[in-house]
A and B are shown apart, each in its own frame.
Chain A
Amino acid sequence: MTILGQLALWLALLLGVWGAVVGIVGGRRGDPVLIRSARRTVYALSAVIAVAALSLVVALLKDDFNVAYVASYSSRNLPLAYKLSAFYGGQSGSLLFWALVLSLFASAAQLLTSRRYAYLMPYVAAVTCVIAAFFVSVSVFAANPFTRLAYTPMDGRGLNPQLQNPGMVIHPPMLYLGYISIAIPYAFSVAALLTRKLDIGWLHAIRKWTLLSWMFLSVGITLGMWWAYVELGWGGYWAWDPVENASLLPWLTMTAFLHSVMIQEKRGMLKRWNVVLIGISFMLSILGTFITRSGIISSVHSFTQSNVGYFFALFLLLGGVFMAWLTYTRWDLLRTEARLESALSREASFFFNNLILVGIAFSVLWGTMFPILSEAVRGTKVTVGPPFFNQVNVPLGLALLALTGIGPLIAWRKASPRNLRRQFVVPVLAALVMGTALFMLRLSSFSAAVAISLGAFVVGTILQEFVRGVGARHRLHGEHYALAFARLVGRNRRRYGGYIVHLGIVVYFVAFTGLAFKKEQEASLKPGESVTMRSPYGHTYTFTHVGVSQYEALNRFVSAASVEVAEDGKRLGVMTSEKRQYVDSFGRQTFEPSTEAAIRSTAREDLYIVFAGAVNGTEEAVYKFTINPLVVWVWIGGAILVFGGAVTLWPGGGPSEAARRRAVEGYQVSLAGETVDA
């Protein structure tokens, strides 16, 4: 199977090059034969890369330990789900996964894109083929998953214990789907620049792709936080780790794009900015993969490190220069169609929203790369950890939260004082009431109080919009309130889906404030001994050590330490945290022991218990107890965010026929003065 896989990789490389050439040449000449060939090459590329991927999966399932990748990331006793996830658990497998998903997305783009954008498709095929060829070439020349060993080990090393978690089965693919799907909007933007047809058409063509990509990134980031929380055992979910930062960067710029694209659609403004944002988002997605895979910056997530970094650095450099040249040479074609009419308008608020989002992205990138810069400039490596990122980003995050409420309420073009009064009185009152209540409750964290007050402001704006919309439908159409609500959302999915997303953002922010009130304590307890902790809400938890049991499981030896938990004297139950020593099928230890936290979640707070180890080999256990307020709301916020995205994405929520007609008319008008043949 590995020979078949190797052949498939080489064939994919050739197909990638062929697709790029015929796509560009066919597009420029308008040659239908070459254009058809480019499209079919994309389909063939998917099929061939799928064969390569299948070959690796078969090697994993058959425990072919002569294959270096299988020996490094799998073992005989690894459960089936993790054998499958080992496909993208290591470096070379994940690069092949990248190429596979990209080729599938590229095929979907060719299949599903409306014929009205046929003029872009050969270039889209060419760009996706170039990107796929890059990943395949890295697989072939630097990180070949089919490399064989000179001998065959009896068993493999197994998958890193931290990756043996259900969250880790879903989280990396989701994040990769997010990263990879940005390549499709990027390919369309390059195609639009190459064809010089920079009307609104290409934006309509990529609308669903950008939303899809943003949703995958959102799901991937949230699942990543969940994985870090349940698996890494430190009681937190975001550590400003370089790899976490790398996943946040394209999310921020894509979020900025989803807002700025509205201004181009409505007013024909920000054309240059939108092209730049898509280019930056794609580059950041490659940078994310580069940081994860190159090991250039040390990270708890860097499970694999090697010399693939040179390939990525070169690709980033060439891609950046190409995009800059393309944008520069089309600069005049990207002139704005309309002028801003007032600084008090939705357009203006979106400008600032973009400034803050891209500003946060810049500060995160700056902080992430600063250790390298410092080493290059001063020869001294410094650490840029959570204190830095919190200091720089918390004020920006609060400003963004405020704009989340302000933006949707201000009128397009120009807001009148009457409009402002009508829209803002209720939300501002909500914020003031909440702020006063928190002040009277003597909330100890100022930034938490501001975040919650701003959250009340944004929720006020959202509720006001829903209440007014439902009320209007009820009055005009005589609909029942529930029906009016359903139709209100169903008939304007983009707008109201957006409000739901904003609600998810508020829930996120409020959940993040819980970090300011986190409580931690270590204790060593003999069986029967207890320790008490006071929660930020004033409750007293009593943790009583029950004992440590040890037993063998499928591919591990488990030491389970149990604690009986009581809240204000009322028994809540037993929580069990584990130390897991993973072993291969011969009972040999494969990794350092890992820790599984015991977590009890409520809407109010999480109890998080970690068994740190046994005192001198006895049942006396060392525990770390953490009371984590509001954590469950992080996951709920993520779910609301994704639900809102799904509402927006649901078919029927796209641009209306009238909008499409306007777009086409605009296109024809712009052609008239350019003597370009339509």
Chain B
Amino acid sequence: VTGLDRRAFVRRAAWLGLAPAAVAQAPQGSTRDSAAARLWQPDMAGRPRGEITDYENDPFIVGVERRLRCTCGCNLDIYTCRTTDFTCTYSPALHREIVALVQQGKTAEEVIAAFVAKYGETALMAPPKRGFAWAAYLLPGIVITIVGIVLGAVLVRRSRMAAVAAVAPAPDTAGLSPDQAARLAAALDRLES
């Protein structure tokens, strides 16, 4: 921060009511041991938090947490819940549980299995790929594939029929009622297939 920037910053901070903090600010890392001032109304700043440890940002733990659902009923995974809904008391506890399991040397799959054993399959962010839950994954794909194949087959068949009809002389349907014409068309369809 340059001197000019610092003055501008202090003015802005003072406007925000931050002057004491702004004046106290120092270059990176130099105030690591300084005591932070107490807030005017601590209970108005949300649930009290502890300091962030390496575990909170550990990619392995975060990866496991993303596959597990918070039990507070929010529909979010544990990582998203504990870093979003700061009023939730469940997700920090679940995070601690995961950290404890990891510290015991468990793999990701073992941690997840332990959670499923304790909280049931609803602890997973996606249904397990076994048994009835396969239906969740496969049905949309199967339906779309079958309809796509049928649609493709119908399109090819009809385009062939159209190609045949294009070279054949058009039948004279003058004088036929719509019903008769429809029956004639259906009969021709059957003949061509």
Contacts and interface: CB of A to CB of B under 8 A. Distances in A.
Contact of A528 (B34, B47, B50, B179): B34
Interface string B21-39: 1101111111110111111
B136 interface: yes
Contacts of A234: 76, 80, 83-84
Given A234-B84, A593-B44, A384 B136 contact: yes
A528 B37 CA distance: 12
A612 B74 CA distance: 18
Given A370-B136, A529-B29, A612-B86, A617 B45 contact: yes
Contact of A549 (B2, B17, B161): B17
Contacts, number: 283
A232 B132 CA distance: 34
Interface in B95-129: 120-128
Nearest to A380: B121
A654 interface: no
A546 B13 contact: yes
Given A385-B69, A551-B17, A615-B50, A595 B147 contact: no
The A interface is mostly helix, strand or loop, or mixed, namely mixed
Interface string B148-166: 1001100110110111011
A612 B49 contact: yes
Contact of A343 (B31, B46, B152): B152
A116 interface: no
A386 B24 contact: no
Interface string A567-602: 000010010100101000000000011010000000
A526 B30 CA distance: 11
Interface residues on B, range: 35 or more
Contacts of A341: 158-159, 162-163, 166
B41 interface: yes
Given A382-B122, A383-B69, A374 B74 contact: no
A232 B83 CA distance: 11
A348 B132 contact: no
B126 A385 contact: yes
Contacts of B86: 579, 593, 595, 612-613
A414 B159 CA distance: 9
B75 A388 contact: no
B76 A239 contact: yes
A550 B80 contact: no
A674 B182 CA distance: 13
Contact of A620 (B26, B36, B144, B156): B36
Interface stretch (A359-367, A483-491, A496-504): A359-367
Interface stretch (A426-434, A448-456, A554-562, A657-665): A554-562
Contacts of A624: 83
B39 to A, nearest CB: 6
Contacts of A622: 49, 51-52
A340 B177 CA distance: 23
A617 B84 contact: no
A301 to B, nearest CB: 10
A656 interface: no
Contact of A526 (B36, B76, B139): B36
B12 A574 contact: yes
A321 interface: no
A530 interface: yes
Contacts of B21: 527, 546-549, 562, 619
Of A381, A385, A616, most B-chain CB atoms within 10 Å: A385
A600 to B, nearest CB: 15
Contact of B31 (A351, A380, A528, A617): A528
A479 interface: no
A345 B37 CA distance: 72
B80 to A, nearest CB: 5
A542 B28 contact: yes
Given A367-B136, A624-B83, A382 B39 contact: no
B155 A526 contact: no
Interface in B62-109: 67, 69, 73-77, 80, 83-84, 86-87
Interface string A126-146: 000000000000000000000
B159 A386 contact: no
B187 interface: no
A465 interface: no
A557 B41 CA distance: 9
B155 A348 contact: yes
Given A521-B57, A593-B46, A620-B36, A392 B141 contact: yes
A222 interface: no
A507 to B, nearest CB: 26
A530 B38 CA distance: 20
A524 B178 contact: no
A620 B37 CA distance: 8
Nearest to B74: A300
B26 to A, nearest CB: 5
A564 B148 CA distance: 55
A362 B18 contact: no
A31 interface: no
Contacts of A523: 52
A424 interface: no
Contacts of A351: 151, 155
Contacts of A362: 140, 143-144
A78 B105 CA distance: 52
Contact of A524 (B24, B52, B128, B137): B52
B170 interface: no
A284 B42 CA distance: 47
Given A526-B36, A547-B20, A366 B152 contact: no
A355 interface: yes
Interface in A507-554: 520-524, 526-530, 542, 544, 546-551
A530 B25 CA distance: 11
Contacts of B155: 340, 343, 348, 351
A367 B141 CA distance: 12
Contacts of A526: 31-32, 34, 36
Interface string A154-187: 0000000000000000000000000000000000
A387 B84 contact: no
A418 interface: no
Nearest to A673: B178
A114 interface: no
Nearest to A593: B46
Contacts of B45: 548, 550, 559, 579, 593, 613-614, 617
A440 interface: no
A299 interface: yes
A614 B36 CA distance: 10
A265 interface: no
Contacts of A522: 52, 56-57, 83
28 contacts: A298-B73, A300-B75, A339-B165, A341-B158, A342-B159, A343-B159, A355-B144, A359-B144, A359-B147, A367-B140, A374-B133, A380-B121, A381-B122, A383-B123, A385-B126, A386-B77, A387-B126, A524-B50, A528-B30, A560-B16, A562-B21, A564-B25, A571-B1, A593-B47, A613-B45, A613-B86, A618-B35, A618-B39
Q: Which 10 A-B pairs have the closest CB atoms?
A: A547-B21, A617-B42, A673-B178, A363-B140, A234-B84, A613-B49, A559-B45, A549-B17, A530-B28, A385-B125
Interface of A: 232-236, 239, 241-242, 298-300, 335, 339-345, 348, 351-352, 355-356, 359, 362-363, 366-367, 370, 374, 377-378, 380-388, 391-392, 396, 414, 520-524, 526-530, 542, 544, 546-551, 557, 559-560, 562, 564, 571, 574, 576, 579, 581, 592-593, 595, 610, 612-620, 622, 624, 673-674
